[in-house]
Structure 1
Amino acid sequence: MSKIIAAKTIVTCPGRNFVTLKIVTEDGTYGIGDATLNGRELAVEAYLTEHVIPCLIGRDAHQIEDVWQFLYRGAYWRRGPVTMSALAAVDMALWDIKGKVAGLPVYQLLGGACRTGVMVYGHANGETIDETLANAADYVEQGYKAIRLQSGVPGLKGTYGVSKDRFFYEPADSDLPKETLWSTEKYLRSAPDLFRAARERLGWDIHLLHDVHHRLTPIEAARLGKDLEPYRLFWMEDATPAENQDGFRLVRQHTTTPLAVGEVFNSIHDCKTLIQEQLIDYIRATVVHAGGISHLRRIASLADLHHVRTGCHGATDLSPVSMAAALHFDLSIPNFGIQEYMRHTAETDAVFPHAYSFADGMLHPGEAPGLGVDIDEDLAATYPYRRAYLPVARREDGSMHDW
């Protein structure tokens, strides 16, 4: 038995907010887990501090599955992003402890490596197509084999995915939500032009991806998917809001462009129909928002039965703790597809020193015991929490739209 004797949350903002859970056992071994929920960070911090941590003291840190079931089933009010992010932080921290005690990286405890590395994709963006493709060329030079392309929409002042900084995109940048304007008609006219130009400039050996960000109806998404078919996208992401999983049936009927969805999913139940009916090609649930490594493995196992691969969300709203956990997961499963990789700032990397590394378009979690990532608590304390919201979107007539 490895008894848990203490646990606490650490909230820090080295350029953006992160919530980290630290669990300590009686022999001094500790593990950390990510509990960050973009724009709602303190809700998860309070859930952990007030409701979860008191239940952890005295439990055996090695009983990862039993602790997971206790926190999930015992809460009665199950699922949801706050609950599942808190549960994920516990799960990650316990896997971290188990790996340290065993003297092995977590991926070895999950069955070992299924591949030599984890293919990742970067984010290329710009106000114009030319700017986007110039940014994409930079990624190609760095060795990336896959690139997500987002470009400004002519006639709109701002567009999702286009940032001032070409390498460190952070949409949660306002004390209160910024209101942006959106036009589906203008977007649908411009998106195919981006990928036509991309194939002409970048060729066919680079995987190209695109994020619609839940902004289209199913029939609009079907039209876009059909328009993009000649450019052979790796995937079209979040083409339509997935609360209504049936909507993907209509998209699937009209296009062979591969579909990815799920970064906002919290459990296997959110994607059960999409996977079982093969309405998607990639499931994007994250280790932090979908209940940790333990639950994400269940989702991956279900997906594997139905020819669906993983493509986990990996934006900067997840700390390096989540990135490390995702890489151990990615390396160990048979149906891995791709991993999103948005690089953290130097300030964030200093707060969260880590063993994972990038080379030749792939990441590897490293061989350090556990997750291979730590937190510098003294440095973290110099970056106090700062409230920050994601933007919201309105149509040009002023009505609210999905952001």
Structure 2
Amino acid sequence: MLRITNARVIVTCPGRNFVTLKIETDAGVYGIGDATLNGRELAVASYLEDHVIPCLIGKDAHRIEDIWQYLYRGAYWRRGPVTMTAIAAVDTALWDIKGKAAGLPVYQLLGGAAREGVMVYGHANGETIEATIEAALDYKEQGYKAIRLQSGVPGLASTYGVSKDKYFYEPADAALPTENVWSTEKYMRSVPPLFAKARDALGWDVHLLHDAHHRLTPIEAGRLGRDLEPYRPFWLEDPTPAENQDSFRLIRQHTTTPIAVGEIFSSIHDCRSLIENQLIDYIRATVVHAGGITHLRRIAALADLYQVRTGCHGATDLSPVCMAAALHFGLSVPNFGVQEYMRHAAETDAVFPHAYRFERGMMHPGDAPGLGVDIDEALAARYEYKRAYLPVNRLEDGTLFNW
């Protein structure tokens, strides 16, 4: 038995807010898990401190599955982003402990490497098409094999995915939500020219991706997907809100452009119908918001039966702890597709020293025992929590819309 003796929540803000759970054992081995829920961080911190941690003390850290079921079934109130993020933090920390106790990287405990590395995609963005393509050429020069394209929309003051910084995009940008203005009509006219010029500039050996960020109706998504077909996009991400999973059936009837969805999913039940009816091509659920490595493996196993591949969310609202976990997961699952990779700020990397590395468009978690990532608590304590909200979105007539 490896008895849990203590667990602590660490909240820090090295460039942005992160919540980290540290679990300690009687053998001196500890593990860390990401518990960050962008814009609602303190809700998860409270859930862990007030409701979860007291239940962990004295339990055997090796019994990962039993503890997962205890926290999921035992709470009665199941699922939801706060609950599943808290469970994910515990689960990830326990996998870290198990790897350290075994002297093995976590991917070895998951069955070993199924590939040499994990293909990742970077974010090319700009106020204009020309600026976006310039950024994409820079990513190609760095060796990226997959690049997401997001460009400003003529007539709109701001556009999702377009940041002032060339490499860093942090949407949680204010102590109260900022308000953006949106026009689907203007947006729909801007994306096909972006892809046409990108193919001319980048050629056909680079995968091109795009995120609609839940802003289209199913028929609008079908039209955009059809318009993009000549440019063979790797995927069209989050084309429409997924609460009604049957709405993706209408998209399928109108386009062969691959569809990716799921970064806000918290359990297998959010995507079960989408996968079983083959309405999507990539599932983007991630370690920190979908119940940890244990539950994400279940989602991947279901997806594998229907030739749906993984494409896990990997924005800067996932700490390096979660990025490491995602890489161990992606290296080991048979139906891996791609991993999103947004670089963290230098301050974040200093607080979370890690073994994972990028090389020639691929990433590898490294071979350090456990997850291969740690937290410098003394440095973390220097960065106090700063309230930060994601924006809200309104149509040009003032109607509140999907952000």
Q: TM-score range by the shorter chain?
A: over 0.9
Question: Alpha-carbon deviations, 1:223-247, whole Å to 9, x = none?
Answer: 0000000000000000000011010
Match of 1:25 in 2: 25
User: Counterpart of 2:253 in 1: which secondary structure?
Assistant: helix
Could you tell me the TM-score, scaled by structure 2's length?
1.00
How far is 1:177 from its partner? 0.3
CA displacement at 1:154 relative to structure 2: 0.3
- Aligned residue in 1 for 2:368: 368
CA distance in 2, matches of 1:123, 1:150: 8
Query: How big is the shift at 1:282?
Result: 0.1
Query: What is the correspondence of 1:199-218 to structure 2 with a 5 Å cutoff?
Result: 199-218=199-218
1:44 aligns with 2:44: yes
| 1:393 alignment partner, SS class | strand
Q: CA deviation at 1:331?
A: 0.4
Task: Tell me which amino acid in the other structure corresponds to 1:148.
Answer: R
Where 2:9 maps in the other structure, the secondary structure is: strand
Tell me how many residue pairs correspond in the alignment. 403
**Percent identity between the aligned chains?**
78
Equivalence for 1:63: 63
Q: 1:80, 1:148 → 2: CA distance?
A: 28
Aligned to 2:386: 386
Q: Superposed, which structure 2 residues align to 1:259-338 within 5 Å?
A: 259-338=259-338
Give the deviation of 1:109 after TM superposition: 0.2
- SS of corresponding position for 2:122: strand
Amino acid at match of 1:185: E
Amino acid at match of 2:248: F
> Separation in 1 of the partners of 2:319 and 2:113?
23
1:11 counterpart residue number:
11
Q: Deviations over 1:51-106 (max 9, x none)?
A: 00000000000000000000000000000000000000000000000000000000
**Cα offset, 1:166, TM superposition:** 1.2
Equivalent position SS for 2:52? helix
Report Cα offsets for 1:282-329 as digits up to 9, x if no partner: 000010000000000000000000010000000000000000000000
Q: Does 1:128 align with 2:97?
A: no
SS across alignment from 2:32: strand
In 2, the alpha carbon distance for the partners of 1:86 and 1:320 equals: 17
Give the Cα separation in 2 of the matches to 1:132 and 1:85. Answer: 33
1:80-159 equivalence runs, <5 A: 80-159=80-159
- Give the structure 1 partner of residue 246 of structure 2: 246
| Paired residue secondary structure (1:323) | helix
Q: Distance in 2 between matches of 1:147 and 1:156?
A: 23
SS of alignment partner, residue 23 of structure 2: strand
Distance in 1, matches of 2:189 and 2:310, equals 30
Partner secondary structure for residue 161 of structure 1: coil
Could you list the per-position Cα deviations for residues 111-166 of structure 1 after superposition, in whole angstroms to 9, with x for gaps in the alignment?
Answer: 00000000000000000000000000110111000000000000000000000001
SS of 1:32's partner is strand
- Separation of aligned partners in 2, 1:401 and 1:194: 24
Q: Which amino acid aligns with 2:64?
A: I
Rounded to whole Å, the distance in 1 between the matches of 2:9 and 2:243 is 31
Tell me which residue corresponds to 1:53.
53
Report how far residue 186 of structure 1 moved.
0.3
The CA deviation at 1:27 is 1.1
Amino acid at match of 1:84: M
Q: Deviations over 1:371-390 (max 9, x none)?
A: 00000000000000000001
Counterpart Cα distance in 1 of 2:240 and 2:247? 8
User: Counterpart of 1:254 in 2: which secondary structure?
Assistant: coil
After TM superposition, list the pairs within 5 Å mapping 1:189-204 onto structure 2.
189-204=189-204
C-alpha separation in 1, matches of 2:96 and 2:367: 13
2:10 partner letter: I
CA distance in structure 2 between the aligned counterparts of 1:293 and 1:356, rounded to whole angstroms? 17
- Rounded to whole Å, the distance in 2 between the matches of 1:193 and 1:291 is 39
Task: Give the CA deviation at 1:344.
Answer: 0.3
Report the Cα distance in structure 2 between the residues aligned to 1:87 and 1:27, rounded to whole angstroms. Answer: 23
- What letter matches 2:56 in structure 1? L
**Corresponding residue number in structure 2 for 1:225:** 225
The aligned amino acid for 2:286 is T
- Which one-letter code corresponds to 1:261 in the other structure? V
Q: Which amino acid aligns with 2:42?
A: L
The equivalent of 1:162 in structure 2 is 162
Distance 2:206 2:332 in 1: 25
- What displacement does 1:343 show? 0.4
Per-residue deviation, 1:352: 0.1
**Greater than 6 Å deviation, 4+ residue runs:** none
Counterpart of 1:77, as a letter, is W
Q: Distance in 1 between matches of 2:146 and 2:189?
A: 24
Give the Cα–Cα distance (whole angstroms) in 2 for the partners of residues 382 and 322 of structure 1.
Answer: 22
Alignment deviations for residues 14-67 of structure 1 (CA, whole Å, 9 cap, x no partner): 010000000000011000000000000000000000000000000000000000
Cα deviation for residue 356 of structure 1 reads 0.2
Aligned partner of 2:377 in structure 1 is 377
Unaligned runs of 5+ in 1: none
Structure 2: where are the runs of 5+ without partners? none
Q: Deviations over 1:160-211 (max 9, x none)?
A: 0000001011010101000000000000011101000000111100000000
